[in-house]
Chains A and B, each alone.
Chain A
Amino acid sequence: MEPELNLRDKPDLARAVDSYLRELRAQLCAHASVPAGADLLDEVYDHVLSHAEHLVCTGAPAEHAVATAVREFGLPAAIGPAMRAELLRPYLHQLATVLLLVGAVVGLGWRIVLDHAPPMPWPVNTRPVALLALDSGAEYTAPAALGLAALGLLLLVAPTHLRSCVRWRPQCQRWAIRASIASATLGVITAMQATAYLAIRGALAPASLIWPAVILAGVLTLATTPAVVRPLFATARLARAH
């Protein structure tokens, strides 16, 4: 058994380790929105102390042991980017999955609400241009958002399940980031189009909507927002430095 290195008795050494972890935290973009970053830093802390304890056991002074353990773990600027890329993957996976599921469920829900609504007071070709434009716009952006989310998920899953494709993992991850961010952007555009469509239709022909169903669908749509925002924020934060 190696002796435990108690840093509470050695404030200088504790400061050296803390300073190293602070630099690494900055490189990892570890933040409340990226809890995996805190886990990784705990692992690094344990690794550095285990290494230092090992060196102390072989006769090295504690100061030298800690300095060596920190140095051999790697410079934060050198090891940070690669570690950040691995931290990003689970959040990206979560984001693509949530975008696909939430997009499909919310889209289907609104389709049902609008298909069962009373008819509008105008024939199709005499409807207000804004309604026609927003309706047809959403018909393109919604499937595109879903398709990009599915593509992002596929790009992440393929190298994992096909070991022969594993060499393409970094490139796949970069394209998965783009696809997922584009999907989220199109999802927001679709939501804005749908909101404007409902507002205009509600103002011009309020009897053409079943309001309790619209309000319920709206509340449920808003309730899905945190499920998207959390992985989106973590992905955007880590990807910005990727």
Chain B
Amino acid sequence: MPDDARARELEALLLTALAAGPAHGYALMVALRRHDISVTRVDGGTLYRALRGLEDDGLIAGTWIEGPGRRRREYQLTRRGRRCLVDHPGRWRTLVADLSGVVAPAGVRPSWNPS
């Protein structure tokens, strides 16, 4: 699969994961890796590149949260991101539906520790 198509799929998956609630980068990676398909086997660089891209496009918004000894950036869907998720072209729908079942119950919640 071309890199570009993989990047688009990853962005769709991240939007889907964030539909369950705000989450930080590591929690998103854990959620993606629970579903073992090629597009979810990403390194940190690819993940944060996709998150920056979505943030620049106004689909998600990041907020810094001060934690013990370090700070953490938490992402959530913007109104535009929710609309984009709803309006996804048909080819995403099956993938998104599959992953909704995996990501949402996995509990990507705004907790400090992903659990």
Contacts and interface: CB of A to CB of B under 8 A. Distances in A.
Given A47-B26, A54-B114, A4 B48 contact: no
B26 A46 contact: yes
A1 B113 contact: yes
A72 B43 contact: yes
Contacts, number: 89
A129 interface: no
Contacts of B24: 46, 50
Given A54-B30, A85-B49, A44 B113 contact: no
Contacts of B114: 50, 54
Contacts of B52: 40, 83, 86-87, 89
Contact of A160 (B8, B57, B69): B57
Interface string B26-40: 110110000000000
Contact of B72 (A46, A54, A72): A46
B44 A73 contact: yes
Interface string A43-82: 1111111110110000000000000000011100011101
A82 B69 contact: no
Nearest to B57: A160
A6 to B, nearest CB: 7
B73 A39 contact: yes
Interface of B: 4, 8, 24-27, 29-30, 43-46, 48-49, 52-53, 56-58, 67-73, 84, 113-115
Question: Interface size for chain A: under 10, 10 to 19, 20 to 34, or 35 or more residues?
Answer: 35 or more
For the complex of A and B, the 10 pairs showing the least CB-CB separation, nearest first, are A79-B45, A74-B43, A73-B44, A86-B52, A50-B26, A74-B45, A86-B49, A2-B113, A47-B26, A46-B72
Interface in A163-185: 163, 166-167, 169-170
A107 interface: no
Contact of A86 (B53, B70, B71, B72): B53
A4 B68 CA distance: 9
Contact of A50 (B45, B46, B58, B113): B113
B69 A72 contact: no
B43 A43 contact: no
Contacts of B8: 166-167
Interface string A148-164: 00000000000010010
Counting chain A CB atoms within 10 Å of each CB, the highest count among B25, B49, B115 belongs to: B49
11 contacts: A2-B113, A6-B69, A42-B71, A50-B24, A73-B43, A78-B45, A79-B46, A82-B45, A83-B45, A160-B56, A170-B4
Given A2-B115, A169-B53, 4 more contacts: A46-B25, A46-B67, A80-B45, A83-B45
